[in-house]
Amino acid sequence: MEFLLGNPYSTPVGQCIERATDGGLQNEDWTLNMEICDIINETDEGVFNSKRLLLWFVIKHSLFYHTLAN
């Protein structure tokens, strides 16, 4: 589980994903979405960090909903 250690939002791709998934957005920000794709494709750690962020996000929200269900 070392894979999940640390805050994945502290990485450049994590910060962009956090801004792109902000609940306050009225519409999708396609410039930001393309920036995320560029970071993932152009950096060695982009793929790793985005996978880590996705896994962290899914686990966090799964635990939240599981807690609400009980």
Residue 7, pLDDT score: 76
Contact at 8 Å (CB) between 52 and 7? no
Residue 34, pLDDT score: 94
Residue 25, pLDDT score: 86
**pTM, two decimal places:** 0.66
Residue 18, pLDDT score: 85
The interaxial angle of helices 30-42 and 44-69, nearest 10 deg, is 120
Sites in the chain below the pLDDT cut of 70: 1-5, 61, 63-70
Give CA–CA dist 2/18, Å, rounded: 22
What residue ranges define each of the domains in the chain, with the CATH number in brackets? Answer: 9-69 (1.25.40.90)
Torsion of CA 17, 21, 25, 28, to 10 degrees: 80
